[in-house]
Amino acid sequence: MPILDESETLKKVNYGLSMSTHRVWITSPWVSTWLIDRKIIQKDARLIVRFSDKTDYRITDFEKLKQLTEEGVWDIRYHPNLHSKMYIFDDFCIIGSSNLTSRGMGKSGQSNRETSVLIESNQEIQDASNRFLEIWEESEPIQDIRFSFKRKQPKMRGIKDILNLFKPHNPFERIR
């Protein structure tokens, strides 16, 4: 079972996206849409992402994912507890730590150090596919996401509160 670093993972994922004719099934909590913003013709293209807090919304462009679903490019769902990273194609599967993001795939100047395994055994690909389908059934269509995050504004009582915003923070200072 070959071990892949983040850039090798990206090469194999790009190969799978381009060459698979039957299926492209991906689980990745966070997604950079430039990696999947292409037409997937006559493929069962499914993607599961995570959506549970503001961090997910900052990293993944959910509006773009909704658009890709509406255009019929991908069938996309979300799961609030997703941590799995699986890339399942016709003849191989990749399982590892790489999110489908620039940092996770080695395309950023500050890329993460990631490790994945390449699986080419038919039985193990089937096992990964079964796990994907379990998560898929637990997931919700991305069109059902409702964004309701509101930025909390600190309550200001006077000039002292405003001046404290510009005061250097001392982590050892006792909070009153």
Whether residue 174 lies inside any domain: the answer is: no
47, β-bridge pairs: 26, 76
Please check whether residue 167 lies inside any domain of the structure. Answer: no
On whether the pTM is more than 0.85, the answer is: no
The set of residues, in sequence order, having a beta carbon less than 8 Å from that of 17 and lying 6+ positions away, is 24, 35, 36, 38, 40, 89
- Mean pLDDT, the chain, as a whole number? 83
Task: Give the β-pairing of 44-50 and 23-27.
Answer: parallel
Cα–Cα dist 112/75, whole Å = 28
Q: Residue 68 sits in a domain of what CATH number?
A: 3.30.870.10
Q: How confident is the model at residue 151 (pLDDT cuts 50, 70, 90)?
A: very low
Would 136 be classed as within a structural domain? yes
| pLDDT reading at 15 higher than 60 | yes
Q: How many separate domains does the chain show?
A: 1
Q: Between residues 22 and 151, which one has the greater pLDDT?
A: 22
In this prediction, residue 11 carries a pLDDT of 94
- Exposed / middle / buried, residue 164 (Cβ in 10 Å: 0-12, 13-18, 19+): exposed
Q: Which two tokens stand for residue 157?
A: 């009582």
* pLDDT-derived band at 67, boundaries 50, 70, 90: confident
**50 belongs to a structural domain:** yes
Name the most confidently modeled range: 13-17, 40-44, 51-55.
13-17
Q: Which residues contact 134 (CB under 8 A, 6 or more apart)?
A: none
β-partners of residue 150 are: none
Q: Is 140 helix (H, G, I), strand (E, B) or coil?
A: strand
Structural domain includes residue 130: yes
The reply to whether 159 falls in a domain is: no
Q: Kindly state whether residue 164 falls inside one of the protein's structural domains.
A: no
What proportion of the chain, given as a percentage, has pLDDT over 70?
A: 78
Cβ proximity of 5 and 104 under 8 Å? no
pLDDT at 35: 74
Is the pLDDT at 21 greater than 80, yes or no? Answer: yes
Q: Would residue 170 count as lying in a domain?
A: no
pLDDT of residue 83: 96
Amino acid at 34: W
C-alpha–C-alpha distance, residues 12 and 114, integer Å: 14
Domain holding 85, by residue range, is: 3-150
pLDDT at 2: 95
What is the Cα–Cα distance from 7 to 127, expressed in whole angstroms? 25
Greater confidence (176 vs 43) lies with: 43
